[in-house]
Structure 1
Amino acid sequence: MDSRWVCCRLALLVNLIWMGSSMMESRETPEDFVIQAKADCYFTNGTEKVQFVVRFIFNLEEFVHFDSDVGMFVALTELGEPDAEQWNNRPDILAQSRASVDLVCRQNYRLGAPFTVGRKVPPEVTVYPERTPLLQQPNLLLCLVTGFYPGDIKIRWFRNGQEERAGVVSSGLTRNGDWTFQALEMLEMTPNLGDVYCCRVEHPSLRSPISVEWRVQIEYCWRKMLGGIVAFVLGVIFFLAGLLIHLRAWKGSAEAQAGHEVSRALLPSQPY
């Protein structure tokens, strides 16, 4: 299919929708404004699942869109409510918008085929804690998976060889804009000395899963102990310094008192 035909069909569809806009008919608009229409096709596993979305934007704010997964127009702001209601009551507009999943997206898929069909890019996996880990202190372990294609990926957490299902939070797939994806999988955990955590990633580009381990190192234990020892030593130093100052002050006071009593004893008695 010629890409010019795709652009022409999208232009006709947007024009058909927009000509029925209540904004075009009666709504007052400011002297300077910008109206935009943006159409996107989202593909999952080739053309197995396709989503077609047309967004209408007024002064950089999206106010209404058509989503093929919903099958109708959805108002995102008060500004878009009259248009969404009006377009949803137009069978011709709804029919053409729904048909665009096949006539625009699926048939247009082959234009991007050199970048997608049969393309497999393996992921890179990094595991790290959210904060400096301390024993028996709750923390979050992150598994960042980047630069992979297609988006079909499975990420699992293991602790000491046993799969962890509780406390797992996923950010979902994020598109990088270069035909690759990234994903972030997080695990709530409390480090114990000797624990071994593993993030295991399965992807069509891999012959076998990637497993990246993170161990609770003994250095973290020593770091905590060292911090306690330093705090104890500093406390002892401050205590001894305070005690020394107190003893010196007490000794000076005692010597002054003794000197005063000796002076009184050496003074001659005064006759009455």
Structure 2
Amino acid sequence: MCSPTFRQIGMDSNCDGYELYNSDRCLFNSTELQDIEFIRSCYYNKIEFVRFSSDVGKFVGYTDFGMKNAEMWNKDQGYLAAMRAQKETYCKHNIDLWYTNVLSKSVKPSVRLHSTMAPGCHHPAMLVCSVYDFYPKLIKVSWLRNGQEITSDITSTEEFANGDWLYQVHSHLEYMPRSGEKISCVVGHASLEKPLIINWVPPMPETERLIIVGAVGLILGLILFLAGVIYRRKSGDASLAHRFSEKQAEDWSKDAAALSLWRPQKEKFFKPDSELCFTNVLPKSVMPLVRLHSMTPSGGRHPALALCRVYDFFPKQLKTRTDAGSQ
């Protein structure tokens, strides 16, 4: 594994491009020193001419100029010792930081299983198992049919980066649909305690969808029909009650005994209430409030207009009079 840690030693440039470019990098697959390699590469006009590798322990030249420099630097034991120490002082330090903050972390994938048309139409259907946003990069995607692993008719993409340290991968399965079979996509990843299994649920056939739509329409029509029947029944009950009241009034009007009971109610019930009202309410009076003020009339035909407002009086009958001078 190559650490993203990068160190530039020196760079000169002109209008034609780079003249000298030195870089350091670390290759590793664990935090142990024996699993780490420190490399310093020196470039001239974008061509690597000499390299130091901690696994080799010395400089190696790739051009005449590089071999002359390698021979010179390898004779300098102090410089050579300093380069050999970079594996521990430079790489080990940065790799520990990466394992602590990044490489030991993991992000669970999200999985989407869907169908699409197979290219060339050699098969009636193709299933796609898309796995998104997982970390680290290493992942395994496999297929099961009725619990048995499928090994043929499968194509998968490489794991490629989203650009935000997360990855995605897509696996395609060409298959012939069979009634009652169960197809599953299985995802194994370091972030999962056990493999994630996503079962394929086929879409409902067109005929079944039409049956369900028809059944729903039938039920809705039945509900509307029952609502109409209930409304008509309630309307019929109201008209029946009206007809019943007319018939009852006609029968009571022909009954002399019933009429003899209702006619005295005028004197027995209404007269005492009327006397109480005349005694306690109607003879009383409330003194009015009066406000007299002037206002400008509309049209400008008179210089002024006097307005007399009378408020909060009882009973209703009222008489007003205006005196102007001797008139």
User: TM-score under structure 2 normalisation?
Assistant: 0.40
Higher relative contact order (CA 8 A, sep 6+): 1
> Who wins on radius of gyration, i.e. which is larger?
2
User: TM-score under structure 1 normalisation?
Assistant: 0.46
